[in-house]
Chains A and B, each alone.
Chain A
Amino acid sequence: MSEFKIAHREASNVSVIELKGYLDAHTAPKLEETFQELLKANRTKIVVNCRDLSYISSAGLGVFMAFIEDVRNRSGDIKLSNMSKKVYNVFDLLGFPLLYEIFDHEAEAIKKFNDKK
């Protein structure tokens, strides 16, 4: 029943994580592992593409909170893109858009990283 998938690819020096399906208390540990692996490999410029993410609960939001400080302390960031209105509403309800940059398209998020250089 676990309808959740994570795909990882590298694009223009940025790690892109694609989320698909439900991000809840059951599936959040998988995202946590993915972030841990990226940090271990010193990949701290991360874009999370949420195009196929159909659902998020606080367990999923907690994963973003758990890694953002560490990632930023290492001169990186977690940026988000392609969020459905439904998923955006949950982020918005908690004020997360104040803390995370959220872009309509993945390419804009990648460009923001590369413009900074």
Chain B
Amino acid sequence: MKKQTLKIDSRTDQLVAVRDFVSRAAYASGFDDEEVSKIALAVDEACTNVIKHAYRYDSKRKITITVQDSNGDFEVLIVDTGRQFDPSKIQLPNMKDYLSKYKRGGLGVYLMKSLMDKVEYHIEPGKQNRVRLVKHLPR
């Protein structure tokens, strides 16, 4: 699969287009329905976080999503130029505790980490935030 890029406005109504774009690429890389669904959901969660947290619903901002196959991996890169954060401060919820206390929110990162083989954050101060989601290609 060739490297492909989608640039969207930072709006939640763009999430359908993001999922379609990523799903098509994942199918082209040989993933089955179940794996394609997982990848599309993980990318939706990453973009939703950008829209909500990095851009705080400023719909004039842009998000760039790039997909490619490389070295046996299917890789999705989500880039924004919004608010920065310290990835080391992300706390994954303890789900048992979470459910028993009827908490809300914070599930996106948990899902991304459960659905993908690798989730990495690269923050370039004053420039951009990158989330890299990786799934090993099917053999």
A→B interface (CB under 8 Å): 1-3, 22, 24-26, 55, 57-59, 61-62, 65-66, 68-69, 86, 89-90, 93-96, 98-99
A25 contact set on B, CB distance < 8 A: 12, 15, 44, 48, 51-52
Complex Cα distance, B45 from A90, in Å, reads 12
Contact of B108 (CB < 8 Å), options: A22, A58, A93: A58
Contact with A along B3-18 (1 / 0, CB 8 A): 0000000001101110
Complex Cα distance, B52 from A89, in Å, reads 25
14 A-B contacts, Cβ less than 8 Å apart? Answer: A1-B17, A2-B16, A24-B16, A25-B12, A55-B19, A57-B108, A58-B111, A62-B107, A90-B41, A93-B115, A94-B111, A95-B99, A98-B96, A99-B99
A58 contact set on B, CB distance < 8 A: 45, 48, 107-108, 110-111
A22 contact set on B, CB distance < 8 A: 16
Q: How large is the interface on B (under 10, 10 to 19, 20 to 34, 35 or more residues)?
A: 20 to 34
4 further A-B pairs in the complex, CB-CB below 8 A; given A57-B48, A95-B95: A58-B108, A66-B104, A86-B37, A95-B99
Q: Which residue of A lies closest to B104 (CB)?
A: A65
Complex Cα distance, B4 from A23, in Å, reads 26
Q: Is the CB of B13 within 8 A of A2?
A: yes
Q: Is the CB of B48 within 8 A of A3?
A: no
B→A interface (CB under 8 Å): 12-13, 15-17, 19, 33-34, 37, 41, 44-45, 48, 51-52, 95-96, 99, 102-105, 107-108, 110-111, 114-115
Complex Cα distance, B95 from A64, in Å, reads 15
Q: Is the CB of B15 within 8 A of A24?
A: yes
Complex Cα distance, B17 from A55, in Å, reads 14
B34 contact set on A, CB distance < 8 A: 86, 89
Shortest CB-to-CB span from B21 to chain A, Å, is: 13
User: Given A24-B15, A25-B48, A57-B44: A94 and B107 within 8 A (CB)?
Assistant: yes
Complex Cα distance, B51 from A2, in Å, reads 17
Q: Is the CB of B15 within 8 A of A98?
A: no
Q: Which residue of A lies closest to B109 (CB)?
A: A58
B104 contact set on A, CB distance < 8 A: 62, 65-66
A89 contact set on B, CB distance < 8 A: 34, 37
